[in-house]
Amino acid sequence: MNDQTTLSRPPTGVADDESAKRRQIVEGARAVFLAHGFDAASMNDIARAAGVSKGTLYVYFKHKEELFEAIVEQECDAQAEGIFDLDSNDRDVAGVLKRLGVAYVKFLCRPEKASAIRTVIAIADRMPEIGRKFYESGPARGMSLIAAYLKAQIDAGVLAIDDIEIAAIQLMESFQANLFKPMVFNFAPSPSEQQIERVVAIAVSAFLAAYRV
């Protein structure tokens, strides 16, 4: 039985090579989607950008929808990693929320991030599962982690909030106020660090004025 199990698994080097090849394809697809949008992107373009044959591409991904799903998942994982890693025992709520807000808006307002979000919005109507996955794995996950931190501060007697979910949503929205939407609609360039810090500081002050004990 052990011999069969061993035979069913690819050697470590092979598995690493396959993982590297998959990443190579995903990065090539990301470049094509951001440059041309979902509809105009073709598997031929993606194979060329990734530096692989079309046959190799189809070994890893059946169609471009599956490729786009992989990119969406990667984007959402990147958002959650580090940015929403909040220490529930840290009672310096102002400091925690300011660091969170600045990191979140910097991530959100990268030009390539805005392009990815535009692409998701453009196809969400006819591919609702993509939009749902993006929202659940990204914004909804972030709000859940913020809500968990706020709940810990309520239990510690630092904050008093009746509706934690609404408070978390309002906080995330106020972090990006007048920063993200003008950029995503190409009305304004990416905000400067000074602009981000100013808006986040105002958001945190308003939040604590409403909820700090």
SS3 159: strand
Residue 104 structure tokens: 């979140």
Lookup result for tokens 């979000």: 117
What tens digit of pLDDT does each residue of 2-23 get?
Answer: 444 333 444 545 556 668 888 8
**Closest residue by Cα to residue 86 from 140, 135, 152, 138:** 152
What tens digit of pLDDT does each residue of 70-114 get?
Answer: 877 776 666 555 788 899 999 999 999 999 999 999 988 888 777
Please check the confidence at residue 54 and state whether its pLDDT lies above 50. yes
Kindly report the number of other CB atoms within 10 A of residue 152's CB atom: 17
Whole-model pTM?
0.72
Can you spell out the DSSP letters for 9-42?
Answer: SPPHHHHHHHHHHHHHHHHHHHHHHHHHHHHH--
Q: Is 190 left (phi over 0), alpha (psi -120 to 50) or beta?
A: beta
The angle subtended at Cα 83 by Cα 27 and Cα 76, nearest 5°, is 40
